[in-house]
Amino acid sequence: MISFQKLKIIYNNELDLLKDAINNSKNPYHTFTLSSINNNIPELRTIVLRGIDKDPFKIFFNSDVRSPKIKQLKINNHCSILFYDLKRKMQLRLQCKASIFNKDDISEEIWYKTPLQSRKCYMAPYPPSKKIENWEPNLPKKYLKKDPTRKDSEVGYKNFSYIQLEVINSDILQLHHDGHIRFIVHKKTFSFISS
């Protein structure tokens, strides 16, 4: 028999692992899948985790504001994200509400901390997912082999956005050969559900 206390321990352990994943690229939670809606059709993509708040539970990532996912989240800010740890057979499915920060105090603070190597991506001449005639790196030619200067990198700030995902529901699934453990956390209330 699993107690609610045991579920809280599992949940808090997963939050700690998410916190570790921010800077640990070997942690399987370092990247996750984001689903948004495009004309009533779900679209998926892999995202790099950039931050987490535990209470209230929020997930953060960066994106080019010109990307399709940002346009989709502006139209419908409800989305789902998925983390999976293959070794531990642990799945986190989170229903979220997105807020997009661009050219404001919040995005400016994050931009200030963003390394030059990462800033280079936001200097791209073409918006993400734009069709082009011939393949070429979507980076400034001057900086293909090196990082931009801090001054030159500032041109990318207009394209930089910081996205906050407020977690509404957490569906936690731990796979076991002798019976899976699955539960939902909604506003700190734990509920068992079948798997």
- pLDDT digit string (tens) for the chain, length 195 residues: 788 899 999 999 999 999 999 999 999 999 999 999 999 999 999 999 999 999 999 999 999 999 999 999 999 999 999 999 999 999 999 999 999 999 999 999 999 999 999 999 999 999 999 999 999 899 989 999 999 999 999 999 999 999 999 999 999 999 988 889 999 999 778 888 777
Query: 77-89 burial, b if ≥16 CB within 10 A, otherwise e?
Result: bebbbebbbeeee
Q: Could you name the CATH architecture of 4-114+160-192?
A: Roll (2.30)
Separation of first and last alpha carbons in the chain: 16
For residues 30 and 25, give the distance between their C-alpha atoms in angstroms, rounded to a whole number. Answer: 5
Q: Is 144 helix (H, G, I), strand (E, B) or coil?
A: coil
Distance of CA 81 to the CA centre of its chain: 7
**What does the pLDDT read at residue 190?**
82
Q: Where are the domains of the chain?
A: 4-114+160-192
Are 35 and 44 in contact, with CB atoms under 8 Å apart? yes
**What does the pLDDT read at residue 192?**
80
